[in-house]
Every structure is written in C-alpha cells, then in structure tokens.
Amino acid sequence: MLNYFLPNEHVKSIFDIHPAVLKDKGIKGIITDLDNTLVAWDVKEATSEVIQWFKLMREHGIKVTIISNNNQERVKVFSEPLDTPFVFSARKPLSKAFKTTAEKMDLKNEEIVVIGDQLLTDVLGGNFAGFYTILVVPIVQTDGKITQFNRRIERRILSYMRKKGKISWED
C-alpha cells in the first residue's frame, strides 16, 4: 500500500524535467499539478520561465494538461494564457480526473507522466491511475490550510520510507 506513495522520480523543480529525457522514456504527455508545482500557490499567472517550459514541451510534441483541486477561476486564469487544457476541482487523489484527462489527450497510460508537489494528491492519484509519477519540491514552504494538513501526513510517510530505505532524497 505504501508503494502507492512512492514517485518514480524526485526532482527539485519542473525545470529539471526535459523533453528529450521524457521522449526517451516514451512519454508524449504531461498531467501536471498547478499550485506549488508550476508556481507558488498564491501566484495567479505563469512566470516567464514557466511559459518557456510549456513552449519547450509543445515544441517537442509533448502535450500538457493542468489538473488541480483548486476552483475554476484560479485554474482558468492561469491556464488560458498558456493555451493549455485544464481540469479544476479534480478531487485528486481520486483517479477519475487523471483517466478522463488521459482519454482527452488521446494517449496511453505509459505515454503520460504525472507531475506534482504532493504525495497525498498528485503521486498517490497518478500511481492509482497507473501513470509514471514525478514528485517536485514545493516552490514555497507555505500552503493553504488543507495542504498544511496533508504536508504533516506526508512528512510522516517520507520519514517512514526513508527509514525503510525506499527513498534517499532530502525534503
């Protein structure tokens, strides 16, 4: 059961995820979280670096969809200027939004990577749905109330997995 909380990879940020490496793994699509994965949870719009990252993925033929538990206005304001499909109120870690997104992308599970900053929503949901998962370090150390609660649980899970030798990276 705890293996569902283990990402396939751990990186510092989305900028450590390169299209050539993804393509070598057969990845053609990215399902990414928004808050604290792409930008800080309280930043409304994409930074110039994030815009470039999306452009780079597009240039390499990698489809990107944003899926967030946040409300429609928050996700729409961020995603529309990027001309990127999005799902709001996704109810992660439930797998329905992940599977529906994969169908809309017209890709197989093994062709998609899920990227996010939370074990309890992004990694767990991506793993349950059968995708390759990459955990990124949260952009900022502050969070909304629900996420603060999730982080406490995550710290316990990570501590346990570290003691069992299942992970080697630092928080």
Model pTM above 0.85: yes
* Contact by Cβ (8 Å): 37, 117: yes
What phi, psi does 114 have (nearest 5°)? Answer: -105, 130
**Cα–Cα distance for residue pair 1/4, rounded to 1 Å:** 6
Q: How confident is the model at residue 19 (pLDDT cuts 50, 70, 90)?
A: very high
Domains of the chain and any CATH numbers: 2-163 (3.40.50.1000)
pLDDT value, residue 150: 78
Tell which wins on pLDDT, 52 or 154: 52
Q: How many residues does the chain have?
A: 171
Please name which of 104, 146, 147, 135 lies closest in space to residue 10, comparing C-alpha atoms: 135
Residue 21 has pLDDT above 70, yes or no: yes
Q: What is the pLDDT of residues 44-80, one digit of tens each?
A: 999 999 999 999 999 999 999 999 999 999 999 999 9
pLDDT value, residue 155: 83
Count how many Cα atoms sit within 13 Å of the Cα of residue 77 in the half-sphere of its side chain. 11
